Amino acid sequence: MKTESHLERAIAFMKRGARPLERARYEYEFEGGNKGSVLHALKQYQNEDEGFGRGLEPDIRLRDSSVIATTAALQILTELKLDPEHPMITGAIRYLLDVYNTGKQGWDIVPYHVDQAPHAPWWEYREIYDGWGNPNLEIVGWLYHFPHGPLEFREKITEHAVQYLLERSPLNDAHELLCALRMLEYVPQEIAEQVTPQVDEMVTRCVSKDPEKWKEYVLMPLQVVNNPEARYYPLLKESIRDNIEHLLAEQQEDGAWHPVWSWGQHEEEWEQAKEEWKGILTLDAIRSLKKFGTMTKEHT
């Protein structure tokens, strides 16, 4: 019953220690909770420009909207299986269209004034951001899943995304891979087929199968394969059991999973962000244990 005891402790943490948003997401997903509670909690992170900020991405404490926080909000909104015309969705897409940078043929992942508030050092604004794919590939996916923008624009940015993956991407960035996977989930099949070999290569290069490295900030199999029907489950299946065992071993005394990174600056704000990350990471861990818990050694 090892997995069950880990889940009990994790759930207890979600009830007492997670942000209202993650608590509501957990209750909606696993306890028949009301999606309205999730929407109410998420609304607290939306600004007048209809984008999202206010620490939704805990490593960015800026109140103003950012593209990375808005894409995080769209991920949450997708979990709720809402009508695409829901105002929080249409507003988020409008925000993304409004802040598109024509000169870059893409989006700034964070605004130039991000340094007006505490944040992790990797979220410093850079005029030329390393790699076009994060967050642009993901946004291409959202423009198909929530088709509220001009079709001509969508076709143009899709063509740019395909060209980037075929010709310019180094195919070795883990965050870019996650964005590419979200893109593949929603674009038409004929588009997905053009870039699938490149995404296959990214999975091979970016997903760590070495348990010795999983204590570091690396992309683990469970972050790419979230259920047995996932696109890359056959490729990563042999690593899933070991990854579940690692997950169980990394649960902390408070029942949560803790971030393996730290800011090295703004220590007071980092402590708050760390607490918020615990809820996000623990929700992800609960999902993995619910999907793959029977793959542990205790069941073999």
DSSP 204-270: HHHB---GGGTTSS-B-HHHH--STTSTTHHHHHHHHHHHHHHHHHH--TTSS---S---SS-HHHH
Give phi and psi for 52, each to the nearest 5: -120, 145
High-pLDDT (> 70) share of the chain, %: 97
Given this model, what pLDDT does residue 83 score?
A: 96
Given this model, what pLDDT does residue 295 score?
A: 72
pLDDT tens digits, one per residue of 162-183: 999 999 999 999 999 999 999 9
**Mean pLDDT across the stretch 69-92?**
98
pLDDT at 59 exceeding the cut of 60: yes
pLDDT tens digits, one per residue of 105-142: 999 999 999 999 999 999 999 876 657 999 999 999 99
Given this model, what pLDDT does residue 203 score?
A: 98
Instruction: Give the global pTM.
Output: 0.96
pLDDT tens digits, one per residue of 179-193: 999 999 999 999 999
Considering only 140-154, 208-222, 284-298, which range has the smallest mean pLDDT? Answer: 284-298
183-to-61, 144, 163, 206, 287 alpha-carbon distances in Å:
27, 9, 14, 17, 22
* Cβ count within 10 A of residue 178: 20
